[in-house]
Amino acid sequence: DRNDRNDKDNRNDRNNRGDRNNRNDRGNRNDRNDRNQRGGRNQRRDPFISEPEEHGFNFDGIVQTEGVVEVQQEGHAFLRSADYNYLNSPDDVYVSSKQLKQFGLQTGDTVVAAIRPPRIGEKYYPLIDVKSVNGRSPEWIRNRVPFKFLTPLFPQERFNLSTSRGTVSTRLMDLFAPIGKGQRGMIVSQPKTGKTTLLKDVANAISLNHTEVYLIILLIDERPEEVTDMKRSVNAEVVASTFDEPADRHVRIANLVLEKAKRMVECGHDVCILLDSITRLARAYNTVSPSSGKILSGGVEANALQKPKRFFGAARNIENGGSLSIIATALTETGSKMDEVIFEEFKGTGNM
């Protein structure tokens, strides 16, 4: 005999659910500390995300850089940095062929541009916008006259090589062999007689007395310690390729420096290149030139000296503004027949 279900405690006798604490009597969510006061989920600090605002750095934005354009055979180009002697480096900036046509850029143009960091899958910094080219606006560059169509003249304005330091060598050059804007001259002597020291004195005098002249010191096949000494003692751009580098690197650096000087002259600037030495540069061109079967005395290729002649012959004074001066050193009486042939080829090309 089971107890009748009606004898069970009636459900209505149980604690009425209405007697429970009403949910509205609970602490209101609005009474809790506001999440915005604690910092919401979106405001929580992610340990893997940097906060540039706290430190004053922003690595995601657009920054400016400066480099020299080098157009590749594929049609695109790169901005090479002077810190790496205009060779391949991690700081290179990629310039597309469309941007080359848009801004009228050529090999040797010194460009101040806006870049952004590379994204996933990108190897180089891409160029975003061009601020200036060779100190001119991008609109001005499109209408420039190419270097080969500029009218060359004899040097007319003279360099003042005398300084208050009392350097005798530059004072003697002022008296007996003055140098002007657009000069093409050679300093010829035996090895270990002080040609590099004389170039250093000339560079210091030009940088001190003629601040409007852009000075480039090009050291080809030189000793590394001389390169360091030149960089520390001269207020000029020093581009070097030491003797432990291959000949094709000598040639590449020399070509890019020459193209940079030409582009600056097209924009009306005065440029001076001090080359040490043209003999070693001609040796490098002779090494990389393909064999034609025609060999001159001393083992010089028949066509090997054409490119160093073009380098040396680029020095000129332009009629409507701008000049390119090249003062180069040449070796003689070294006991090498090749050096004698190179010197004889360049002997009558100067205008000093």
Looking at the DSSP bridge assignments, the partners of residue 111 are 67, 133
- Among 144, 177, 199, the domain-final residue is 144
What is the distance between the alpha carbons of residues 242 and 269, in angstroms, rounded to a whole number? 29
Structure-block tokens of residue 2: 């089971």
Q: Looking at the domain assignment, is residue 232 inside a domain?
A: yes
- Among 99, 122, 144, the domain-final residue is 144
Residues 170 and 130 in one domain: no
Cis peptide before 277 (omega within 30 of 0): yes
Residues 343 and 236 in one domain: yes
- Tens digit of pLDDT for each residue in 304-343? 888 899 999 999 999 988 899 999 999 888 888 888 888 8
Q: Looking at the domain assignment, is residue 23 inside a domain?
A: no
CA angle 215–102–254, rounded 5-degree value: 30
Residues 179 and 131 in one domain: no
Q: Looking at the domain assignment, is residue 58 inside a domain?
A: no
What is the distance between the alpha carbons of residues 132 and 72, in angstroms, rounded to a whole number? 21
Q: Looking at the domain assignment, is residue 15 inside a domain?
A: no
> Higher confidence at residue 146 or residue 23?
146
Residues 136 and 159 in one domain: no
Residues 135 and 73 in one domain: yes
Please compute the mean of the pLDDT values over residues 72-98 and round it to a whole number. 90
Residues 200 and 272 in one domain: yes
What percentage of residues in the chain have a pLDDT greater than 90? 41
- pLDDT of 50 reads 44
Residues 164 and 117 in one domain: no
- Tens digit of pLDDT for each residue in 166-212? 788 889 888 898 999 999 999 988 888 888 889 999 999 999 999 99
Residue 340's CB is within 10 A of a number of other CB atoms, namely 17
Average pLDDT of the residues of the chain: 83
**End-to-end CA separation in angstroms for the chain:** 137
Q: Looking at the domain assignment, is residue 190 inside a domain?
A: yes
Q: Looking at the domain assignment, is residue 174 inside a domain?
A: yes
Is residue 278 within 8 Å of residue 330, measured between CB atoms?
yes
Q: Looking at the domain assignment, is residue 314 inside a domain?
A: yes
Residues 136 and 152 in one domain: no
Q: How confident is the model at residue 91 (pLDDT cuts 50, 70, 90)?
A: confident
What totals of helices (H) and strands (E) does the chain contain, helices first?
11, 12
- pLDDT of 52 reads 46
Q: Looking at the domain assignment, is residue 27 inside a domain?
A: no
Q: How confident is the model at residue 29 (pLDDT cuts 50, 70, 90)?
A: low
Residues 121 and 255 in one domain: no
| CB-based contacts of 267, cutoff 8 Å, min separation 6 | 133, 134, 135, 136, 140, 141, 144, 322
Residues 75 and 158 in one domain: no
- pLDDT of 348 reads 79
What is the distance between the alpha carbons of residues 127 and 116, in angstroms, rounded to a whole number? 7
318: domain CATH number is 3.40.50.300
What is the distance between the alpha carbons of residues 124 and 98, in angstroms, rounded to a whole number? 17
DSSP characters over 135-195: TB-HHHHTTPPPGGGSPEE---SBP----TT--HHHHHHHHHS--BTT-EEEEEE-TTSSH
- pLDDT of 1 reads 47
Residue 239 backbone dihedrals phi, psi, to 5 degrees: -115, 125
Residues 86 and 132 in one domain: yes
Domain coverage including residue 68: 63-144
- Among 111, 144, 177, the domain-final residue is 144
92: domain CATH number is 2.40.50.140
Residues 172 and 249 in one domain: yes
Indicate whether 123 pLDDT > 90. no
Domain count, the chain: 2
